[in-house]
Chains A and B, each alone.
Chain A
Amino acid sequence: MSLGSQDLQSSKVYRLAGMADATGKPLQKLTGATERFSALLEQEGYAAIDTPVVEETELFVRKSGGELTSRLYTLVDPGGHRVSLRPEFTPSVIRHYIQERAGFNGPVRFRYSGPVFRYEQHGVGAYRQFTQAGAELIGAAGAQADAEALSIAWEGLRSIGVTGFGIRIGNIGVLQELIGGFGLSEAGRLFIISNIQAIKTGQTTLSKLTEQAARVGLLRAGLKITVDDSAAYIDGDSTRDFIEGVLGEAMSSPTGRRTPEQIVDRLLRKVREASQPGNLESALALIDQLARIDGAPGAAIDRAGVVLKSHGIDASPLDDLSALANDLRKRGIDDACLTLDFGLARGISYYTGMIFEVEHPQAAAGASLGGGGRYDGLVRALGGEDVPALGFALTMDNVVDLLK
């Protein structure tokens, strides 16, 4: 014998951090729970779909905020394409809908389950691969569809055997509507909504936010040039000449792959869309009060009504919330397990309306049990028609941890 196996003994290969092997009982628990949830969805008319684990990176980046895109597993495949492991199912399901179901009338319902991948910061209990099971309801608008998704999440958790959970509901669309009267640009409104969690928890103050808005150019006062409204609306050469004249020196340096015209056009757009500082402050003051309201749906809506009245704002957008609460009651969902939270914001930035999160007193801090919401702009953003849609997913690994 020449070289025995001992001589060539290799070093061990270990499992990656944030990944788990599942065997035996825990595996049974996970597959059992997923199957029960899937059976319920099937009964409710949700068709099964499985989508590729790997997709073009573009699909996941198109409408997601930084919190998800920075955690993508992205690689260049041997053919030179930039691809990513799916961090969630929703964009893939929507892509399928656009590719295969375009023009289909009426709502389409999908259910799915499988592994998703997110490169979470290294730490105890941070899964980088976990199992999501969820549903998407495409082509349905209104409070009734919202209630359907919520009640299925509710029933689903019960079918799995989880007790003692609650559902926290918010609505980004209602907040958008309520601050719609302040004459803010879309960027200005998004700025407020994206800071709502920080406002609610007191991590920031209104004056800090106003300063920040000025720094990032959302306020007219923060811009180096001011153009009165009439001038800003003139897209003709005279305005451009004027601006190029004012900014002559800066604009004389190389502009890279952008033309001076493109730069001036964008500057004009920025000036046009920038908000009056007073308007942003008023909107922030309203959101500051609203964001702190959470509680049983009826009581929370009443409190929000009082706040709106004190600001002299039409409270009719709250009717959507009342309609949802009524619908949920009719479906037999106990009010006591629902929290209406005006300061709720979910990480993924494609949500446009109702959003929700499942919560449980025994869940580990930071361990999401699941959630979802309405994302009416997503189908269009991914290249389809303007179709309303919503969905949710449960994080099965964390959900089954709650089972005895």
Chain B
Amino acid sequence: MLRLAIPSDGALSDPAQAFLKACGLSVSRPNPRKYTADIPSVPGVVVHFQRGSDIAMKVEEGSADMGIVGHDTFVEKGREGGDAEVVIDQLGFGHSELVLGVPDSWVDVTSLSDLADLSMEFRQQGRDLRIATKYPRVVERFLLSNGVNYISLVPSSGTLEAAPVMGYADIIADISSTGTTMSANRLKTVHGGTIMKSEACLIINKPLIIASEAKLSQATAIVERIEAHRQSLEYYSVTANMRGESPEDVARFVLEQAYISGLRGPTISRVFTRDGAGMYAVTVIVEKNKLLQAVEQFRKIGGSSVTVSQPHYVFHSECKAARRLRANRQ
């Protein structure tokens, strides 16, 4: 029984469920008051709805086997060398930046080095620069490595933006997806003040997963689908009709074209025309950003009725995430 923890609150909650659905891993939660659910396409997986900020810890301590978390939260709460590790680092949603915000009125502060200088000035006045944040570990490391030495962190979980006005901190370090909350609270960003960029990632408790055949196979089923779905977003499936004497004849033409020779080569099948003329449907997989070049090359060699569709999955010869799951298996 693989326990997958997903966020029940916060900015990642809805996108995480939508993402799983897009990967063919729809979460079925018949009763919204229940904190567990199933993934019918992978029997034996139990979904646990957890607070977003708890998931990294739950996976680390082993009360969940797998989890979807923001990379920033994982770095903040994770334990280096611990049991939890990232198995897919970019799930493609939940993008955010952890940035420093200083009062608008501090017209003398425009960069991180101003903050270093200011923290020194504060120290001479016998106090520290106070920073309110939900990410004290990450923020402290960042500031110290940039020479902002005299600081005290004010770990807080509420509305940080008000901290400078309320006077319990001088500046804040918080997630900013748009920056509007900052400016509404008369805060501004500074040069060099982006602490980290983040998006959602998939983490596992490695020892728990490799200790159980059942968990390993369920985890593999999940990462295979996620990776294949993420891969599919990079490609289009393009089909064109081509006249020709034989499949080999058509293939020769197609393979001469750089953009339409596919991942391995074209798939060619016969089209049974009314007039009996030789016609073949040629299907290739094309990188998304090369689509127009591909269409142009089909036209050049006489292709017609070009149709483009989005594959649901693209499985390569090996799933990298599945290999990471099994790596170093004792």
Contacts and interface: CB of A to CB of B under 8 A. Distances in A.
Given A66-B146, A263-B106, 11 more contacts: A61-B144, A61-B150, A67-B145, A216-B113, A217-B113, A224-B110, A255-B103, A264-B108, A266-B121, A267-B107, A270-B108
A66 B144 CA distance: 5
B313 to A, nearest CB: 35
Nearest first, the 4 A-B pairs at minimum CB distance are A70-B145, A267-B108, A253-B186, A216-B111
A383 interface: no
Contacts, number: 89
A122 interface: yes
A10 interface: no
Contacts of A72: 144
A237 to B, nearest CB: 18
A270 B106 CA distance: 13
Nearest to A349: B147
A263 B146 CA distance: 22
B111 A250 contact: no
B191 interface: yes
A330 interface: no
A65 B113 CA distance: 12
A256 interface: yes
Contact of B107 (A64, A70, A215, A251): A251
A254 B105 CA distance: 7
Given A17-B81, A65-B147, A70-B144, A263 B108 contact: yes
B111 A217 contact: yes
Chain B: number of interface residues, binned into ranges:
20 to 34
Contacts of A257: 127, 130, 167, 170
Contacts of B147: 65-66
A256 B111 contact: no
Nearest to A61: B149
Given A122-B80, A254-B103, A215 B149 contact: no
Contact of A69 (B104, B144, B164, B165): B144
Interface string A309-325: 00000000000000000
A64 B116 CA distance: 12
B112 A256 contact: no
Contacts of A266: 108, 118, 121
Contacts of A306: none
A337 interface: no
B320 interface: no
A260 interface: yes
5 contacts: A72-B144, A217-B110, A255-B105, A256-B106, A263-B105
Interface in A338-390: none
A252 interface: yes
Contacts of A260: 105
B170 A256 contact: yes
A258 interface: yes
Interface string A224-264: 10000000000000000000000100111111111010011
B145 to A, nearest CB: 4
Chain A: number of interface residues, binned into ranges:
20 to 34
A187 B103 CA distance: 24
Interface in A208-225: 215-217, 224
A270 B107 CA distance: 11
Given A216-B191, A257-B167, A266-B118, A247 B106 contact: no
Contacts of B104: 250, 253
Interface of B: 80-81, 103-108, 110-114, 117-118, 121, 127, 130, 141, 144-150, 164-165, 167, 170-171, 186, 191-192
A14 to B, nearest CB: 10
A253 B106 CA distance: 9
A80 to B, nearest CB: 13
A258 B186 contact: no
Interface in A48-93: 61-62, 64-67, 69-70, 72
B107 A252 contact: no
A256 B167 contact: yes
B114 A216 contact: yes
A250 B110 CA distance: 13
Contacts of B110: 215-217, 224
Contacts of B164: 254, 256
Contacts of A255: 103, 105-106
A69 B104 CA distance: 29
A260 B170 CA distance: 14
A293 B266 CA distance: 58
Contacts of A217: 110-111, 113-114
Contacts of B114: 216-217, 270
A160 B107 CA distance: 57
A217 B118 CA distance: 13
Contacts of B186: 253-254
A267 B108 CA distance: 5
B183 to A, nearest CB: 11
Nearest to A18: B81
A263 B118 CA distance: 10
Nearest to B148: A66
B105 A250 contact: yes
Contact of B165 (A61, A122, A215, A254): A254
Nearest to B150: A61
A122 B105 CA distance: 41
Given A65-B147, A69-B145, A122-B80, A253 B103 contact: yes
B146 A216 contact: no
A64 B120 CA distance: 12
Contacts of A67: 145
A32 to B, nearest CB: 32
Nearest to B130: A257
B111 A215 contact: yes
A256 B191 CA distance: 20
User: Could you say which of A65, A215, A258 has the most chain B C-beta atoms within 10 Å of its C-beta?
Assistant: A258
Contacts of B80: 17, 122
B179 to A, nearest CB: 16
